[in-house]
Chains A and B, each alone.
Chain A
Amino acid sequence: MISRREFLQASVAASAILGASGTGKWGRLAAQQSLMTQDDLLNMAPVGNVTLIHVTDIHGQMNPIYFREPEINLGVGQVEGLPPHVTGADFLNMYNIQPDSPEAYALTYGDFSALSQQYGRMGGLDRIATVVNAIRTERPGALLLDGGDTWQGSLTALRTDGGDMVRAMNLLGVEAMTSHWEFTLGIDRVTQIVENELNFPFLGANIFDAMWDEPAYEPYKMFERNGVQIAVIGQAFPYMPIANPGWMFPDLSFGIRESRVAEMVAEVRANGAEVVVLLSHNGFDVDRKLASRVPGIDVILTGHTHDALPEPVVVGNTLLIATGSHGKFVSRVDLDVRDGGVQGYGYRLIPVFSDVIAGDPEMRALIDAERAPYQAELGEVLGQTVGTLYRRGNFNGTWDDLLCQAMLEEREADIALSPGFRWGSSVPAGQDITRELLFNATAMSYPECYRSEMTGEFIHTIMEDVADNLFNTDPYYQQGGDMVRVGGMGYRIDISQPQGSRISEMTLLSTGELIDPTRTYTVAGWASVNEGTEGPPIWDVAESYIRRVGTVDIQPNRSVIVSGT
């Protein structure tokens, strides 16, 4: 039903609006910033009678941010070398994007520090509101869906227990959402928001009562738009109690629950759905496998793994949409629904260039009001950075290198561990590190920086366990984060090996000696999922370090040697 050719037609139509010949690619046409206007970014040849608007993984970012995409994002098994496991120049070649163009800046890591100064920050809920309003004007009845990881990730979201984002997303007019980090606010707060504060349904077909294994949240919502019945099924992050602290929501059970998804698809089809949308926080590879095994889903709006792809990935008759993270992108999916089914589609990944898209005044007023009580705290300068601070990458990023160095020095540890989170904004080279930017990389509800003793053998077990969450060849066994970041210790990893055999040559960097399995080492880390973890919050540890050092100069990390790619 859906062909690549149709996408290309839509793409060419978008190019024509830019005033150049149809043979050029959209990316190249927009290469010069002077050509780029708000209309250029929003225009797309409309298709059909249904429009979906997708945002996901905004992680509390109300204002525009910098976000450097990953340099290393390896796929294993059947997805090796397939999007989204394509980065840098390979990504530009795959999608015919000109180097140094706005799209190259938005979608890849190359030359980030220079291009970030040329093209500026991206995202911001006031800009997103402008995009959403423009689409709704052009396409009445367009359905706005949020894939979750919305209520966490900034200082203001932390201080307001997600309240700032709930109010902003209500104003934006979101019509359904699903979840992940939302539950780290604790079950009582989630219940309070869902029952009293949220203007739209909080969907999760795969969330069950842990004791009785009964559904705990609404699984789906039916919408009638322009005479078409649309079913939106919510799929929360499957590994919630494993990857995050289960004690914060002790009565809930999650899981992929593939058979449950299939049941819901059958149920909504029986109820007359002509379009079935899975609003998912599974992660891209999990959704790709799910699409191959559960027929009847027209569109999966993917999330969790923070991938941004300029074209849908098509599996059978299912479109997989990847909208990126932190508000950098908004996806518009047009569907031609006739004779009870989807006959064709158009797609545009809209990059939210904050210097090009005007902010919506009403949303801007809300953002300013939410931030006002915290303005002095947010703006305080803690130090400067020589190089770009960023988080994404399978094995390390300079933000976590900084956090690990801070833990080693401030907590006097042999080894430091920082979790493989994928959220957190970037700080371009040479800029101030404000408290807001530090919180963008650390703000969450279990920030205690522990200091404990671990044997070399146990550290190896942790490393192998986390590596298998990332490099298990079956996507259903992947949890969607990156590798745990390590300070003070180097190691070799062969990602092609099974669990237990990937990690070798663990080396204590301070002495150059191999880690002794029987020896005990002092380890500092943060974001433990264990209840009762003690220590100062990671942001205090990092602030103390940054203030003491003044100008942070993170050197390239050469202590992880990767093979088997």
Chain B
Amino acid sequence: MNLTRRQALITAISAAAVAGFVPRSAMATTMEEAMAAFTGGAEATEGGAVIITAPEIAENGNTVPVEVAAEGAARITIFASGNPNPEVVTFAFGPLAAAQRASTRIRLAGTQDVIVVAEMADGSYQMAAQEVKVTIGGCGG
């Protein structure tokens, strides 16, 4: 089964229903450009506010579950740094959102860092990254 980007977005919508959801047109092509487009060129720091929950090794690279959380975030974007188009999804959280947390499933072209950037309420940017391995597998045990 190949999860299309559109299906991923639908999954994300249901997960982020309370928060409200803003699909972004993906014009950026490189990771740097994609991140700069989100932060407006501001630097994102790895301050520990962003929490990524994703498998270390994907069981199926076509549909990798990723959960992101950043307390106090206004927007959170997931980038798949090694995909042809790195920007995957942006979640926007209104002031009444009880929690700044969302989950979705994404396709990864190969082993790469999943990078998550959050725009905090004060306009600063926080980020975190986790490597997700996509392996051909088969010799454990």
Contact = CB atoms under 8 A, between A and B. Distances in A.
A and B associate in one complex: yes
Nearest to B133: A477
Contacts of B136: 461-462, 465
Interface size class of A (residues with CB under 8 A): 35 or more
Contacts of B55: 255-256
Nearest to A462: B136
Nearest to B53: A259
A210 B139 CA distance: 22
A84 B140 CA distance: 18
B57 interface: yes
A99 B134 CA distance: 44
Contact of A480 (B53, B60, B135, B140): B140
A235 to B, nearest CB: 14
Classify the secondary structure of A's interface with B: loop
A179 to B, nearest CB: 12
Contacts, number: 79
Contacts of A420: 139, 141
Interface in A245-304: 246, 253-256, 259, 304
Contacts of A477: 56-57, 131, 133
Contacts of B56: 255-256, 474, 476-477
Interface in A417-432: 419-423
Contact of A246 (B59, B133, B141): B59
Interface in B94-137: 111, 131, 133, 135-137
A369 interface: no
Nearest to A213: B65
Nearest to B59: A241
A243 B138 contact: yes
A466 interface: yes
Given A255-B55, A259-B53, A477-B57, A243 B139 contact: yes
Contact of A481 (B53, B59, B60, B141): B141
B21 to A, nearest CB: 20
A244 B135 CA distance: 13
A244 B141 contact: yes
Classify the secondary structure of B's interface with A: loop
Nearest to A418: B139
B101 to A, nearest CB: 12
Nearest to A525: B138
B59 A237 contact: no
Nearest to A530: B138
Contact of A239 (B57, B60, B65, B111): B57
Contacts of B65: 213, 253
Interface string B25-65: 00000000000000000000000000001011101100001
B137 A243 contact: yes
Contacts of A390: none
Contacts of A469: 135, 139-140
Contacts of B53: 259
Given A213-B65, A259-B53, A477-B133, A527 B138 contact: yes
Contacts of B141: 180-181, 237, 243-244, 304, 419-423, 479-481
A419 B136 CA distance: 13
A481 B60 CA distance: 20
A321 interface: no
A43 interface: no
A242 interface: yes
Contacts of B111: 499
A422 B141 CA distance: 6
A533 to B, nearest CB: 11
A253 B58 CA distance: 10
A421 B138 CA distance: 10
Nearest to A483: B139
Contact of B139 (A246, A253, A255, A479): A479
A312 to B, nearest CB: 24
Contacts of A244: 140-141
Contact of B140 (A461, A462, A481): A481
B57 A481 contact: no
10 contacts: A242-B137, A465-B136, A466-B138, A469-B135, A469-B140, A477-B56, A479-B57, A479-B139, A480-B141, A484-B139
Interface of B: 53, 55-57, 59-60, 65, 111, 131, 133, 135-141
